[in-house]
């Protein structure tokens, strides 16, 4: 288990297997499968860099948003789970059922071994939501509700990590 002493400590101090960057932990077959499904990893580069450099303070803020027991009028984790299912259902209709699964696998490899704790799991969850929100925005021309759902789902990353506009 990691020991945090300062609020600005990075959540992932050392990349797995002593690799110097996030690129070192990406699994190439996942990248190829994502490409085969119609997406390049560069589409999600901004999000991958943000999760790689997430600080302890930001991880705590994300976790507090997810684990909040009372319903907030702005954002609610239970509603986000429902919106995720709506987006997944719509993406499945358009033949993109592999993309969310591949994104979850890629993000899950960012934190490995002893760095896994509730904070990193919450970070992976909200960044996964933001990634599928990007995919949903790409298909908003086919289903207008996808744009609204994508905005809702990407709210935690936009607010905590200060992305000024929608992640696209």
Parse the chain into domains and list their residue ranges.
20-160
Q: Which carries the bigger pLDDT value, residue 19 or residue 51?
A: 51
Q: pLDDT-derived band of residue 18, with 50, 70 and 90 as boundaries?
A: very low
Q: What pTM does this model have?
A: 0.82
| CA-closest candidate to residue 15, choices 64, 48, 47 | 48
Find the radius of gyration of the CA atoms of the chain: 16
Taking a C-beta distance cutoff of 8 angstroms, is the pair 150, 87 a contact?
yes
Widest CA span in the chain: 48
> What number is the average pLDDT over the span 14-34?
64
Q: pLDDT-derived band of residue 8, with 50, 70 and 90 as boundaries?
A: low
> So what's the pLDDT on residue 3?
53
| Rounded CA separation 59/62 (Å) | 5
The listed range with the strongest mean pLDDT (10-19, 55-64, 107-116, 149-158) is 149-158
pLDDT at 64 over 60: yes
Taking a C-beta distance cutoff of 8 angstroms, is the pair 54, 2 a contact?
no
> So what's the pLDDT on residue 11?
58
Q: pLDDT-derived band of residue 140, with 50, 70 and 90 as boundaries?
A: very high
What is residue 10's DSSP assignment?
B
**pLDDT digit string (tens) for 103-123?**
998 888 887 766 778 888 999
> What number is the average pLDDT over the span 30-52?
86
| CA-closest candidate to residue 75, choices 87, 60, 61 | 61
> What number is the average pLDDT over the span 34-55?
86
> What number is the average pLDDT over the span 41-50?
86
> What number is the average pLDDT over the span 4-32?
61
The backbone torsions φ and ψ at residue 9, rounded to the nearest 5 degrees and listed phi first, read: -60, 145
């Amino acid at each position: 288990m990691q020991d945090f002493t300062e609020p600005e400590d990075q959540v992932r101090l050392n990349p797995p297997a002593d690799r110097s960057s996030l690129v070192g932990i990406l699994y190439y077959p996942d990248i190829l499968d994502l490409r085969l499904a119609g997406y390049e990893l560069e589409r999600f580069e901004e999000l991958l860099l943000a999760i790689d450099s997430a600080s302890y303070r930001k991880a705590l803020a994300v976790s507090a948003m997810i684990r909040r027991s009372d319903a907030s009028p702005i954002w609610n984790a239970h509603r986000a789970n429902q919106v995720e299912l709506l987006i997944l259902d719509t993406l499945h209709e358009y033949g993109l059922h592999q993309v969310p699964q591949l994104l979850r696998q890629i993000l899950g490899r960012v934190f490995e071994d002893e760095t896994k704790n509730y904070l990193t799991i919450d970070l992976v969850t909200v960044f996964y939501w933001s990634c599928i929100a990007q995919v949903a925005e790409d298909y908003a021309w086919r289903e207008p509700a996808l744009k609204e759902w994508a905005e809702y789902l990407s709210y935690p990353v936009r607010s905590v990590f200060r992305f000024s506009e929608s992640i696209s």
